[in-house]
Amino acid sequence: MPAAVGQAIASYLRRGRPRSGRREVLLRAKARYDPIASGTVASTVRRACRRAGIAEVGSHRLRLTAACEVVKANVPLYRIGQVLRHRSLQSTAIYARVDVERLRLVAAPWPGGARR
């Protein structure tokens, strides 16, 4: 996660987030401070794409991108699963796609095949 994003989230948690016993990070700004709806995230991402003049992507892309970035940072898969709140590592593996070039570094050569 870029440092500026982490700082913005920390600032929100310290000064902007309504007081609540809820564990979710993002809460509605008005009372009943329930978690924001998934549709809110999706529409916010689409609006941000339009404002930036780029092709629209779904909010699901945020999860995928975050998972891929922490894989690159060598965070263990089970920790990524905890952040994404998955029940199984198989679910996390879908998000945390592995970089093929990094796999080449640890792959054994194919028997009888030429090395590249």
Residues 64 and 52 in one domain: no
What is the rounded CA–CA span in Å between residue 12 and residue 18?
9
Q: Is residue 113 part of a domain?
A: no
Task: Residue 31: give the domain boundaries.
Answer: 23-58
Q: What is the pLDDT of residues 3-12, one digit of tens each?
A: 887 888 899 9
Burial class (CB in 10 A: 0-12, 13-18, 19+), 21: exposed
Q: What is the pTM of this model?
A: 0.55
Residues 68 and 97 in one domain: yes
The residues with which 35 forms a beta bridge, in sequence order, are 27
Residue 5 lies in a domain: no
Q: What is the pLDDT of residues 26-57, one digit of tens each?
A: 888 888 889 988 788 889 889 999 999 999 98
Q: 111: which DSSP letter?
A: T
Where does the pLDDT of residue 109 fall: very low under 50, low under 70, confident under 90, or very high at 90 and above? confident
pLDDT-derived band at 77, boundaries 50, 70, 90: confident
Average pLDDT over residues 59-75: 82
In a domain, 1, yes or no: no
Tell me, yes or no, whether 67 and 51 share the same domain.
no
Helix (H, G, I), strand (E, B) or coil at 27: strand
Regarding whether 65 and 54 lie in a shared domain, the answer is no
